[in-house]
Every structure is written in structure tokens, then in C-alpha cells.
Structure 1
Amino acid sequence: MLGRPDAAAPPARHTEEASTLSTTFRDLGILPETAEALEAVGITSPFPIQEMTLPVALAGTDVIGQAKTGTGKTLGFGLPLLESVTVPADVELGRAKPEELSDAPQALVVVPTRELCQQVTNDLLTAGKVRNVRVVPIYGGRAYEPQVEALNKGVDVVVGTPGRLLDLAGQKKLRLSQIRALVLDEADEMLDLGFLPDVEKIIEMLPTRRQTMLFSATMPGQVISLARRYMSQPTHISATSPDDEGQTVANTTQHVFRAHSMDKPEMVARILQAEGRALAMVFCRTKRTAADVAEQLTRRGFAAGAVHGDLGQGAREQALRAFRNGKVDVLVCTDVAARGIDVDNVTHVINYQTPEDEKTYLHRIGRTGRAGASGTAVTLVDWDDIPRWQLINKALELDFNDPEETYSTSPHLYEALSIPKEAKGVLPRADRTRAGLAAEEIEDLGETGGGGRARAKSAGSGGSGPSAERARPARKPRERRRTRGALRTDSPAEQAAATAEGSSVATEAGEDTAAPRKPRRRRRTRSGAPAAASEAPATKETEAAGEGETRKPRRRRTRSRAAATRSAEQPASES
């Protein structure tokens, strides 16, 4: 239960069961232009969270909205946000005065991930199309210049991630002094990613008099504390459905199987051939696993793309565009895509690896069964992950505490997921109708950081976008030099030619010509063999004397020989 800033009294709490979708957005009091824009894309009736939030939020009250993922929270805060800004169309219709217009942002939406930033921006642009509301996304991984240029041209609503927002605001490129409405979307995810301190810094830059709306699927303690500090008497709205008692969406059918890690690629390949399967998402815990699974599915004939943290932003957006456009029908991703991806006709979600906790599980399977549609969620649990899964199962009050041991050839797998009996681990060539990831062009975003290598990798073997690696000039091999102990293998004729060539070059350069320098004589060490000394070249002294015989090496006295000499001389002296 949330309270006022002084925690003296709790806010009003609306927890209702959704009624039939008989009302329309026009009945809820939104502007006719906004309703017209929604009707143009086939959106006429609100969902429970929208129907309950709009009357409160349109009145300017602070709102805390809590609903399950995939139930329409974006329009729940997006429509009041669009109504709070003043655009030229309002002045033309007499709803506002010309002096109320501004090129500075009037509304701000803070989101945790880049993918969610794009999704919210697209929804707001759709709803504000008739009024021509200017919405600009601000997030990392892209070049600064286009974003700064868009802000300088004028903007009404800014949607951004905390890091880039704070960066541009610190550089005085983003003005926050005229913000009238603030939305914190997926606040629990921002807490998990460690963005809450950045969010607090952004809030402190905003005007005190504003409307604040906080939307999330779950409400951890730190999010409640944030609401108490920065919201004024918020109304807590929690939307449920009569046939949806648990934390998961009722129209999503869930299956949990105990599977061996080496058999998972084969199982996934057969699950993806289930009857009625349209678009599918495969979730992995690690970036390496996501890249490997996407590669294996591609080799098996599926049109697959990958979205994970090792890819540059251009490659991530390329895969998402290909997925939305139908060129790719399997998207393999990490939990970076568990929020913010709202794609129509996603019928299957496969948890290739067990999620970290129950919140991650809810957001993963929330990519299907959205907006009233039905979906299928399949979770493959390793033997080592059974304890982790049992904790998730207990927290969500599911009925899969002991998953059934399953393999790619198990009859109950085929029966539960409606997989044709003739399906194998490779997609038949007749069914390979998708264009694939290579058909979607990769956009050069002028990415910051080391995204070039990842972008080139994302293009696959046939990648030929502007982000491909630039061809480097061939490096000249380093010339190997002779060491002192190396033997010269050139013939005498070659050595003479080289000497003559060196002397001619020196003469042309105006230098004195001189005889080639003789190699330095190697000195004999104590451990050297007498044969080595006898084979040594003649010294200067013998050459000057004209003698043909070599110099006799000097004998060295050792301690033992000196002692023997003294002992032999001592009796003679005594006598």
C-alpha cells in the first residue's frame, strides 16, 4: 500500500475486476483527434488497465498503475501524456493559446531498455499522428548528433533511457525545465538494472509542479519508496480479470519439460514445427548461448535472428525489424528483449534456459498472449536447474514442481505441442519461405563504443551493410635480421654482388666507400672445446706476420693445478 509523501494516509486504491469491453476510447474523454488516430489502426475499445487509468490520469492526478505484462499499460499512460502537451493543432482549434507553444519537451517517459524505448515511441507516434505530436527517442548505442539535432528542431515528448537522458541534460542539450508530465515505465526493471539513482537525478531536474505516473508489473520496496518521495497523493490502480487469478496471463498455455542440454537444439527445432506456429521467441540466459542457438537454428533451415548485449545497436535493430516484418520468424534473445518487444502474432515463447527468477519468467512468457490473443510458453529445465525452477514454480503457484523427463523423440512432447509425427530436427526445404536476416538492411547508426565488430558478426557470412569491417591495407612483412650467431648461407658470388651493390649506393649518396666490415671474432669461453679454437679464423697478428700456423692457445692455471705445483715445490725449498 502506497502513501502520501509524509506517509500519513494511504492513497486511493482501485482494484477491480475488468468488465466487458463495451466502452470505447471516445467514451473515456480523450481528444477526438487521438481517438481518430487509434481507430485508423483498429484500436477502439480499451483494456482494463486503460479503462481504469484514463479517467484518473486525464484529471491530472498522480497514478501508480500495476497490471500484468501484455495488458496495454503503454496506452494507459501514453494517452494522458499526449493530452498534457500543447501542439499547434490545439491552437488552431482554439483549445490553447499561441504563447503556450514551446519547442522544449513538455512530457518525459523514462524506460529501462532501448527496445522498450523504441516500442513506446512507436505507440505514442501512432496515437498522436493526427495532432502531429513530436516524439523523439533518446537512448544509448546511437550517435549523439542526430539526437541533439532532433531536440534542437523542437520536440513535445521525449522517451529515453536514464543514462543518455542524464548525459544530454548534463550537457545542456536536453531542457527539462518545462516538463509537465513524467512517466516511469517498468520501474521494477530499472531497479533491477541499477538505474534508480540515475532516475532520481533526472527527477530532481524536473519542475516540482508536474504530474507523475509510475507503471510496472511488480512493486518492490524500493519502487514504493521512490513513489513516496516523488509522487503527490498517488492513486494506485491494479487491474485484474475475472478469469485470470494467477500472476500469469490465463490465455497463455504453459508447458514445462525436464530436458538434457545436448538434446535441447533438437527439441527446439521440432517445437518450432508445431501446428499453428507463427512467430516465435527463444530466450537464453547468456549471450554466448543466444548466439550459438541462433546459429544452430539457421543451419537447420530456420529463419532466425539474435538480439543480445554483444551485438551493436544496429544489428539489434536489424534483427527486430526483420522479426516485425516477417523476414525472420524465430528471434533468439537474452532477457534484454524480455521487455519492450510487442510484436503481433507471436504464438510461441521457448525458455531455452531457466530464467533467473519469477519476474523474469513472467516477462518472458508475456511476449505471447498479448492484447487478448492466445499463446504457448514452453520451458526446458536442465537437471541442474531443477531447484531454481521449483522456487519459480512456488512463487507463481504453478503446477509444474516436478517437470516430466522429456527428449526430442518423446511421444508426449509431440502430443502436447501438436507437432507433426514426421517432424525432424531440420526444417524441410519446402517450408523455408522466409527471406531471412540478410534480407533486412542493417542501418549505420554511428554507434558509440565497440559496436563495429558485433555489427559485422551480426550480418552473418553474407553481411554487406555499411557496418562491415573496413578493409585494412596489407601489412608489409617485417624483414628478418641476421643474429650474431647465424650462418650466412649466400654463395661467395652473391656476397660479392651484394657488397658491390652496397658500395655503389653509398657512392651515389656521396659517402666514402669502405671494405665490408668483418664479423666480430667470437671469444672462447672456459667451457669451449679445443676444437672450436683450432677452427677459429686467423687473427690480425698472424696475418700481419704472414705465418700460416695458428697461435697456440694460452694455458690457464686452475686451482687444483696450482695446489699441485706448490706441493711439489715445497720439499725442494725445505731442503
Structure 2
Amino acid sequence: MKPDHLSDVTFASLNLHPRLLSGLEKLGYGHCTPIQAACLPRALAGQDLAGQAQTGTGKTAAFLLATMQHLLTNAPRSPEGVVAPGAFMLAPTRELAVQIYNDAKALGADTGLSMTVCYGGAGYEQQRAEIERGVDILIGTPGRLIDFYKQKLYTLDYVEIMVLDEADRMFDLGFIDDIRYLLRKMPPPAERKSYLFSATLSHRVLELAFEHMKPDVQKIEIEPEQVTAERVKQALLHISNSDKLQALVGLLRQHDPVRTLVFVNTKRDCEQVENALNLNGFEAATLSGDVAQTRRLKLLQDFKDGKLPILVATDVAARGLHISGVTHVINFDLPQDAADYVHRIGRTARAGAQGDAISFCCESYVYSLPDIENYIGMRIPALPESVEQLKAGVPYYVAPPRPSRDFRGGPRRGGGGGRPGGGRGGPRRR
């Protein structure tokens, strides 16, 4: 029986290449999600797409399948021996770039297409060597890709498909000049396919789409009745700053979560939360923007594998990461941007599952609450347990060391990417 969160459209009905259907079958995918059902027929018909959909609904698979279908059914444009990716995919963060790469490897396992991911902070020589061997699908973050491009390791003259994922985040992180630089090195919009996906199709994102895509670009928006995932059970607890750590420990003991993301606004506070949890019998680790890349990837893998039950994170983990089985998202701090609330709680209840999202509303970040509730179109219900009840569940609470005196605790912004492989030298279609 088809799960409720999927559409009636099957992948088999889309005339996809047999090697793609084989990969989908191995992954257990039979029906499209709504965004896939809306995008794939248009993309397969040759149209450019500007897509918006709720996080966790299958946007990545939509553009990957459309890309691979084109590459498998069309001869390469580039001359033999020239390092020239047929598809070029840009992501704002290392984690999202790696996620796209991992999904591409899984979906394209039987295709024979070569894929490489490039990102800053690690693997420079390895990434360089992989590009030099040639690649069909090049995935990465703007800085590292521009670095290699300026070294003339590859050319963008023969790009057939351009993908820009999380375009709104590109603006937020200041990458838009880099994006425009790379787009201008590619063939003009009329000579390539372009897929742009974003959590929000704001005016600035649409301006970018209309500037660098075909004039008849298809705008696709899949929005549920609620902005937040329907299967996320949300709750809110008003609390003082001084009670938050002990209440968090009590909450985790009472709810007994299997795999939990705890979101904190600053790296400094992440360390406090991690220390408090570890001192009180939980296994937790921090994921933030300045954690070394090799450790970041290991933490994410341990979290996905169930070896690490609690991941404390800044918003570096709020976008684009598909981690199945996250039972709880806890906003230790309310985010300062309402859209980030949706991205955070979207880490749970993915692919039709259910999950809990519990938010602490303290005096430092209470000002964010009206904007969040206005954005999601609902009042967040109160958590059944009181602060006193949660603290009572931790009679022997061990407090972590206090942060250094130069930190005053005011609201500040926090937060910030497989193994490459393949070669372009030989024929990519078999």
C-alpha cells in the first residue's frame, strides 16, 4: 500500500532509463513525492525549473533523477580528454554538498556515471586528483569549485545541466557573487538545462532564476496546509535562562528519545549544553561551523548510524541534511529567524515518519516567538510538563563549568562538505 505522504505517480510511469529504475528499485522507491511528481515530468520534457517545497520532501532526488536521465540519454558535448562536467551542482554548505553526493551515488549506482564532491576544509589534493581524472557530475560549494576552476582543472564550457540547491541560503551566506561568476562561465541559459531549488522562492531568488535560466522557467511550489511538517508534534516551554540546562536533562530523561538534535544559537552555548549532557549521563557531541571537517563528517555518520544518540548543533545542521529516524528536535534556543524554525524541526518527521519538536522559550530569545508563530500560522501548544516537573526528574543534576567571563550571553548568530570517485576519460553512457 502506498504511504499517505507519497503521490499516485510511480517512477516506472515516467519512462526513466532502466539503470535509474534499477537504482530506485534497490532503494525501495516506487512512488514519487509531490515535489517529484510535479517536477520530474517537466524536467524530463526539457523545461527549466524553479522549485519550492517543504524540507524533507525529496527535492534532491527530483533534480538528481532529471540530471542523470539527461546524461544517460544524450551524448557528451565535450571533446574526448577534456575535463568538462556534464552536470554542475552547487550547494551552500559542505554538509549539503556531501548529502547530494551520497544521494547521487545511491540513485546512480547502476548508471556508470562518475561523480565527485568538492568542499573546503579537507581533502584538497584528493579532490583535485578526482577532478583531473574527469567527472560527469561535479558537486560542491562555491569557494572550492572556483579555486579549482581558476587553476584550469576543468572547464564549464560544456555544462549541460546546472543545479543550484538551497538558493536562499546562498544569499544568506554571501555566496551570490560567486554563484553569478560560475554561471557566467557556463553556456548561456538557452543551451543548458537549469534547476533551482529553494526553501523559499523569494524575490531575490526568482530574480536570480530569471537572470540565469530560460524565459519560460517553470515555477513549482508544493506547500502543505501548514508550513511545518504535518507529522511533527510541536510543543513550547516558557523557561528562564538559568533553568534551561537542568530542564533539558530532565526532558531527555522523561521522553527517552532515540536520536535527538538539540539546536543552539551559538557555538559557546553548544559547548555548555554538550558538557551538561555528558556530565549527567548522556552521550552528546557538538556540530558547529568551526568543527574540523573530518570530525564533522564522522559525527554526522555516527549520528546516522545510531552510535551517537544526541547531536548538539548550530544552524549549520538545519538545512539539507537527510537523517532518517530523528525522533526529537529540541530548540534549546529559539532561532532568530522564523524560517530557521521550520528548517530545524524539519529534521524530524521526514519521509512520512512522525517526530517531536520541543522549543524552550527563554528571556534571551522570547522576542522570536511572535514571528515564528506568525510564519507557521499557528500557536505552538504548551509542553504538558512544567519546568518544575522536568527539574524534579534530575534531583542530582551536575552543572557544567561556567563559561569564561568575557562572554555576556546576549543573542548572537551561530552556525556555519563521500568519497569522491569516478573518471570522465572514458565513455559515460553504456
Give the TM-score of the pair, scaled to structure 1: 0.64
In structure 1, distance between residues paired with 2:374 and 2:210: 30
Q: 1:336 to 1:239 in 2, by over 3 A?
A: same
Q: Which secondary structure does the structure 2 equivalent of 1:23 belong to?
A: coil
Given that 1:269 and 1:424 are in contact with CA atoms closer than 8 Å, whether structure 2 keeps it comes out as no
Instruction: Show the 5 A alignment for 1:14-163.
Output: 21-86=7-72, 103-163=83-143
In structure 2, distance between residues paired with 1:284 and 1:333: 6
In structure 2, distance between residues paired with 1:193 and 1:43: 34
Given that 2:235 and 2:383 are in contact with CA atoms closer than 8 Å, whether structure 1 keeps it comes out as no
Instruction: Show the 5 A alignment for 1:64-463.
Output: 64-86=50-72, 103-208=83-188, 209-232=191-214, 233-240=216-223, 244-275=224-255, 277-400=257-380, 407-410=386-389
Given that 1:110 and 1:161 are in contact with CA atoms closer than 8 Å, whether structure 2 keeps it comes out as yes
Amino acid at match of 1:175: T
Q: 1:148 to 1:97 in 2, by over 3 A?
A: closer
Q: 1:125 to 1:19 in 2, by over 3 A?
A: closer
Amino acid at match of 1:409: E
In structure 1, distance between residues paired with 2:43 and 2:213: 13
In structure 2, distance between residues paired with 1:32 and 1:101: 26
Q: 1:65 to 1:101 in 2, by over 3 A?
A: farther
Q: Over alpha carbons, which structure has the higher Rg?
A: 1
In structure 1, distance between residues paired with 2:285 and 2:77: 48
- The alpha-carbon deviation at position 352 of structure 1 amounts to 0.6
Q: Spell out, residue by residue over 1:77-105, the C-alpha distance to the aligned partner (whole angstroms, 9 max, x if none).
A: 1100111224xxx7xxxx75899877521
Amino acid at match of 2:227: Q
Q: Structure 1 unaligned runs (5+)?
A: 1-17, 415-420, 428-444, 446-575
Q: 1:125 to 1:20 in 2, by over 3 A?
A: closer
In structure 2, distance between residues paired with 1:386 and 1:69: 25
Higher relative contact order (CA 8 A, sep 6+): 2
Given that 1:267 and 1:425 are in contact with CA atoms closer than 8 Å, whether structure 2 keeps it comes out as no
Give the TM-score of the pair, scaled to structure 2: 0.85
In structure 2, distance between residues paired with 1:281 and 1:375: 11
Q: 1:110 to 1:98 in 2, by over 3 A?
A: closer
Q: Which secondary structure does the structure 2 equivalent of 1:354 belong to?
A: coil
The Cα RMSD (Å) is 2.5
- The alpha-carbon deviation at position 395 of structure 1 amounts to 2.5
Q: Spell out, residue by residue over 1:237-295, the C-alpha distance to the aligned partner (whole angstroms, 9 max, x if none).
A: 1123xxx3121111111111111222212222222234562211000110111122112
Q: 1:424 to 1:152 in 2, by over 3 A?
A: farther
Given that 2:49 and 2:195 are in contact with CA atoms closer than 8 Å, whether structure 1 keeps it comes out as yes
In structure 2, distance between residues paired with 1:205 and 1:97: 18
Q: Which secondary structure does the structure 1 equivalent of 2:388 belong to?
A: coil
- The alpha-carbon deviation at position 160 of structure 1 amounts to 0.6
- The alpha-carbon deviation at position 194 of structure 1 amounts to 0.8
Count of residue pairs the alignment pairs up = 392
Identify the range of structure 1 (186-195 vs 219-228) with the bigger mean alpha-carbon deviation.
219-228
Given that 1:246 and 1:397 are in contact with CA atoms closer than 8 Å, whether structure 2 keeps it comes out as yes
Q: Which secondary structure does the structure 2 equivalent of 1:237 belong to?
A: strand
Amino acid at match of 2:116: V
Q: Structure 2 unaligned runs (5+)?
A: 399-418, 420-430
Q: Percent identity?
A: 36
Q: Which secondary structure does the structure 1 equivalent of 2:327 belong to?
A: strand
- The alpha-carbon deviation at position 343 of structure 1 amounts to 0.8
Given that 1:117 and 1:139 are in contact with CA atoms closer than 8 Å, whether structure 2 keeps it comes out as yes
